[in-house]
Amino acid sequence: MPDDMSGDAPSGPEWDFLRGDPDPIAAPLPAAPPSAGPSFGPSAEVFTPEPIEPPQIKSDHHAVALDALSGAAPEPGSPKPDPILMADAVVRRFGGLTAVDVTHLEVQRHSITALIGPNGAGKTTFFNLLTGFDKPDAGAWTFEGRVISGLPPHRVSRRGMVRTFQLTKALSKLSVLDNMRLGATGQRGEALWAAVLPPLWKRQEAAITARAMELLERFKLDDKAGEFAGTLSGGQRKLLEMARALMSSPQLVMLDEPMAGVNPALTQSLLGHVQSLRDDGMTVVFVEHDMDVVRHIADWVVVMAQGSVIAEGPPAAVMADDRVIDAYLGAHHDAPLSIEEEEERLAKAENELQAEIEQASADQSVEGGATP
């Protein structure tokens, strides 16, 4: 969290939902009068979040997820009617720092769940733990009712739970099509003894290639199939990584900041693809800082701060939660300091100034005494 919170209000997409800015994903809206948005200065009294329209049902799977989540309590660790992923008492420490301390979390099947929080909240570390890229100090989690805590990433992926990375992992010196083929599982030609016998794997190889081209066409990358992956733009690499993740036909897709560094022209396309995963029957969990993206596509939002889950619920409820606002802006973001607090800060500043004066005087005395 920035250290200069007492100055001007922060800017950037991750703060827009707190300032009531219009959604940049939708069509441009006329500017609101100065008095329409919330204020964070001393004169502010009540934070009023921007009204959020009820979610539009996109598919049968979406309707089922929304119906299930309608009965879930908007509170940390709330149980879900049909969770696909459950985590209990997950802790990860680095020396004396507790990066993750999640008591209980459930992810509803066929939903899009957003994992948000300030920088350093532990979101990516939690992702790494759940997908086998890091080991916890304590805790366990299940996927589809089976324990997967402690499994390496490739075995987690084979169970049907895949992830993408904040920094894309495309193999730049292979073609886009070859990158896609690598995502398929159970390839017979990967066995040493079978590799020298093409009749054993040729038919499967053709099916894998057809599936890869189908996904590339879906993600508008089919015209890049023969090009090196290293020639793609940042946004196209995000699309390639998402498409490659689908080669294993997963049930749960975990996306780590899928919109980070993406050209705004591709943002809408990426949003549509994320929603299509849910509409095809998959479950999506994604980390995101842009709150306009979150309220645009998320069915449920989980908020982390200092390694713990501090809030859960629908986007509208979470964005009006005082705990969430405090986590982003601090506890005194919208209230004037009391007389006692002002006096305490003034006394602290005076003491620091006096200490600096005394130190400067001491330094001058040492320098004067050292002069011959």
101 within a domain of the structure (yes/no): yes
Buried b / exposed e across 239-267, counting CB within 10 Å, b at 16+?
bbbbbbbbbeebbbbbbbbbbeebeeebb
Let me know if residue 262 belongs to a domain: yes
Range of the domain at 330: 10-25+50-169+251-267+281-353
105, part of any domain: yes
Residue 106 belongs to a domain = yes
DSSP 186-234: S-GGGSHHHHT-GGGTHHHHHHHHHHHHHHHHHTT-GGGTTSBGGGS-H
Q: Which residues contact 269 (CB under 8 A, 6 or more apart)?
A: 220, 239
Of 330, 331, 327, nearest in space to 319 by CA: 327
Whether 318 maps to a domain, the answer reads: yes
Instruction: Count structural domains, the chain.
Output: 1
Decide if 151 is inside a domain. Answer: yes
CA 167-260-94 angle, 5° bins = 55
Those residues whose C-beta lies under 8 Å from the C-beta of residue 283, and which sit 6 or more positions away, are 84, 85, 107, 108, 109, 110, 111, 112, 113, 251, 252, 253
- If DSSP codes are grouped into helix, strand and coil, which group holds residue 253? strand
Residue 262 near residue 270 (C-beta atoms within 8 A)? yes
Note the pTM of the prediction, 2 decimals: 0.70
The 10 Å Cβ neighbour count of residue 26 is 10
Strand 300-305 to strand 112-116: parallel, antiparallel, or no bridges (unpaired)?
parallel
Identify whether 99 is part of a domain.
Answer: yes
Q: What is the CATH number of the domain that holds 122?
A: 3.40.50.300
Tens of pLDDT along the chain (372 residues) come to 444 444 444 455 444 544 444 444 444 444 444 434 344 344 434 444 444 455 566 677 888 888 888 888 889 999 999 999 999 999 999 988 999 999 999 999 999 999 999 888 999 999 999 999 999 999 999 999 999 998 999 999 999 999 988 888 888 899 999 999 988 888 887 777 777 787 788 898 899 999 999 999 999 999 999 999 999 988 888 899 999 999 989 999 999 988 887 777 778 888 888 999 998 899 999 998 888 888 888 999 999 999 999 999 999 888 888 888 887 766 555 566 678 877 888 888 888 888 888 888 877 776 666 555
CB 247 within 8 A of CB 215: yes
Assigned domain for 132 exists: yes
